[in-house]
Amino acid sequence: MSKEMLEAFRILEEDKGIKKEDIVDAVVESLRSAYKRRYGQAESVAIEFDEKKGDFHVYTVREVVDEVFDSRLEISLKDAMAISSAYELGDKIKFEESPTEFGRVAAQSAKQTIMEKMRKQTRAITYNTYKEHENEIMSGTVERFDNKFIYVNLGTIEAQLSKQDQIPGEVFQSHDRIDVYVYKVEENNRGVNVFVSRSHPQMIKRLMEQEIPEVYDGTVEIMSVSREAGDRTKVAVRSHNPNVDAIGTIVGRGGANIKKITGKFHPAKYDPKLDRMVPVEENIDVIEWMEDPAEFIYNAIAPAEVDMVLFDSEDAKRATVVVPDNKLSLAIGRRGQNVRLAAHLTGFRIDIKSASEYEAQEDQFFPDAIEPESDTFGEEEDGFAAVALADLDDDMLAAAAEFGVSADQD
């Protein structure tokens, strides 16, 4: 029996990842609980495990006393000395108990405890395994579907791909092999949940790290990404090597690197002319990241030209971008997409104004000076304009008198 138990411990440890110490603790606790249910107390029980033989021993520990009040906890000095003359008052004597009477209860309790520990241990292992892959790309197999999720098997768990994390127009079948971005791993009483995405902006960054050596080794850094999955993405990049062109490196010769990235996605949209779904390619704009926020915003608005970038004195993260009148629609983009992506990319709330709109606003708050009437100013004399003194008040006249200026008050 002992060899079988040791073998069971080994299997649990190797296959389920449950440490032998945890299993022993579970059995000891179960035996203690069973003893308490059988005898009404567990203060006097001591349980030991023989590491070599794999046996559990249950002992009742009794104290040597003059007068016994509880035979489960105490033994008289006379009875103790009958066992050994060396015993004295206060000594503790262990008596081995046969767990036969409560063994069945203990075994059932131990099984339940071990199963619970197995569940917790398995949950912890699963959580730690996938937590290490949080914010990374994993490959999995499409398993099943429901109204909320596509379930993707990542090996030991089914990850959840929600509708908002899917790329519009992308369709999968069971057993399809797909790459997903793990953005959240959480543990709760029911188990471990792994949430994945194909529309997350950081998936673009991770794919570039996989496909472009200069990004992987840090020569070119992805500073920020804004994305409307399946349609358009903006990526801000910088080079840490003056001899390496960041934008050219990301794009690749003939756009080869960008094609590697967009080739990972397969969105489609309905074409009314063809009356069927047709493949589309997610456009990726690569811009140069700049430390100066005005220059960064200038780049982010591309392909539209920018006349000026103005910052709000009361809101450090708000900016107004003025563009030529004929570039306004390009700067805003279809349904506001271009300015929306630029705002996400830079972290600024961006207002787009045409040059004429901005000039009209300037005229409203800072109107041009009105030209003076001809009788207000005289001809210049000695480099100064001659002022009509009749228009001055008493204080101004007094000040003028100090400089020898006078006028007929009539």
Q: pLDDT (tens digit, 9 = 90+) per residue, 129-179?
A: 999 999 999 999 999 999 999 999 999 899 999 999 999 999 999 999 999
Residue 396 one-letter amino acid: M
Judge if 157 and 116 occupy the same domain. no
Three-state DSSP at 344 gives: helix
Q: Could you tell me if residue 175 is left (phi over 0), alpha (psi between -120 and 50 degrees) or otherwise beta?
A: left
Residues of the chain with pLDDT under 50: 1, 366, 368-392, 396-397, 399-410
Buried b (16+ CB within 10 A) or exposed e, 298-323: bbbbbebebeebeeeeeeeeebbbbb
Q: Are residues 62 and 178 in the same domain?
A: no
Q: Is 295 among the domain residues?
A: no
What is the span of the domain harbouring residue 152?
A: 133-199
Q: Write down which residue in 114, 129, 144 finishes a domain.
A: 129
pTM score: 0.69
Which helix (H) or strand (E) segment is 221 a member of?
strand 220-228
Q: What is the CATH number of the domain that holds 157?
A: 2.40.50.140
Is 141 found in the same domain as 93? no
* Count, residues in the chain: 410
Say if residue 191 is in the same domain as residue 111: no
pLDDT for position 117 = 72
Identify which of 148, 229, 234 has the alpha carbon closest to the alpha carbon of residue 195: 148
CA–CA separation, 347 vs 261, rounded Å? 24
Domain containing residue 33: CATH number:
3.30.1480.10
Alpha helices in 167-255 (DSSP H): 201-211, 213-216, 246-251
